[in-house]
Amino acid sequence: MKTLIVAATLPEISPLMASMALNEGVNNYREHVVYVLITGVGMVATAYALGYHLGNFKYDLAINLGIAGSFDRSIALGEVVHVTRDHFAELGAEDGDGFLTIDELGFGASAVSHQLSAVSSQLSAGSREPDIRTVTGITVNRVHGNVHSIEATVSRLAPHTESMEGAAFFYACNSAAVPAMQLRSISNYVERRNREAWNIGLAIKNLNIFAEKFITDLLKAGS
Ligand SMILES: O=C(O)c1cccc(C(=O)CC[C@H]2O[C@@H](n3cnc4c(=O)[nH]cnc43)[C@H](O)[C@@H]2O)c1
């Protein structure tokens, strides 16, 4: 099986890489190929890196791993969630106090979803779907840190989580017909910017523990 692991920054997945003995780039893991792609932060960096890479290589599955903010206070800091649907939340046009999405402008779709149906038929359904909370995310260039803009986004899209890459990851993988899933661990709540309240260490620790078990189980099932 050929698996692509995608993260914005190296520190977000270096514990996983150490425990599975993976390097950036191509790796042989047992009888599988695992490629680790570090894209840089944000949609532009992610879209470029994935567009370039997926133009040359084909995968059975791409997995986006990273930390995220949560709008939903019932999700604990450090909880790992499965983002199955994501939105380009800022893509569109202002219309006075309102907002017209890219869909309403007639230029495309602002929502993108995970695609797992085409994952190798060798894998059972149970081993493909992680047994964790399923959430809807938004992806932004400008991270929310203002109570008024947070209220407006929540009433328009009701997202659970926010990242700076997720929708671009889905868009690139869907465009290249590569099955894709996004797993994120919550490092902070989306609120008036309050960096002291973030727990990036806990989020990275839990993300990597979860990802190692999930990916090694997946590759066992896919042997
Ligand atoms: O200092 C800040 O205000 C700040 C804002 C956003 C992200 C950072 C980072 O250092 C991490 C970049 C990384 O983390 C993801 N992330 C984590 N929390 C959020 C969030 O609340 N909203 C959007 N993205 C978030 C993001 O995907 C980046 O890759 C610092």
With respect to residue 95, please indicate whether it lies within any of the assigned structural domains: no
What's the structural domain count of the chain?
1
143 in contact with ligand 1, CB cutoff 6 A: yes
Give the bridge partners for 35, in sequence order. Answer: 4, 26
With respect to residue 106, please indicate whether it lies within any of the assigned structural domains: no
Enter the ipTM.
0.92
Question: What are the tens digits of pLDDT across the range 90-120?
Answer: 999 999 999 999 999 999 999 999 988 766 5
With respect to residue 39, please indicate whether it lies within any of the assigned structural domains: yes
Question: What are the tens digits of pLDDT across the range 131-144?
Answer: 999 999 999 999 99
With respect to residue 150, please indicate whether it lies within any of the assigned structural domains: no
Lowest mean pLDDT among 63-77, 105-119, 147-161, 183-197: 105-119
Q: What is the residue with the minimal CA distance to atom 29 of ligand 1?
A: 41
Q: What Å distances lie between residue 174 and 62, 96, 101, 127, CA to CA?
A: 10, 33, 20, 21
With respect to residue 45, please indicate whether it lies within any of the assigned structural domains: yes
Residue 146 Cα, ligand 1 centroid: separation in angstroms?
Answer: 15
Distance spanning both ends of the chain, measured CA to CA? 7
Residue 189 Cα, ligand 1 centroid: separation in angstroms?
Answer: 10
DSSP H or E segment with residue 162 = strand 161-163
Residue 162 Cα, ligand 1 centroid: separation in angstroms?
Answer: 8
With respect to residue 97, please indicate whether it lies within any of the assigned structural domains: no
Residue 124's contacts (CB-CB under 8 Å, 6 or more residues apart) are 221
Q: What is the residue with the minimal CA distance to atom 24 of ligand 1?
A: 163
CATH number at residue 130: 3.40.50.1580
With respect to residue 107, please indicate whether it lies within any of the assigned structural domains: no
With respect to residue 74, please indicate whether it lies within any of the assigned structural domains: yes
Show the domain range for 128.
Answer: 2-86+113-138+160-222
Residue 223 Cα, ligand 1 centroid: separation in angstroms?
Answer: 36
Residue 101's contacts (CB-CB under 8 Å, 6 or more residues apart) are 91, 92, 110
Nearest residue to 64 (alpha-carbon basis) of 155, 188, 173, 218: 173
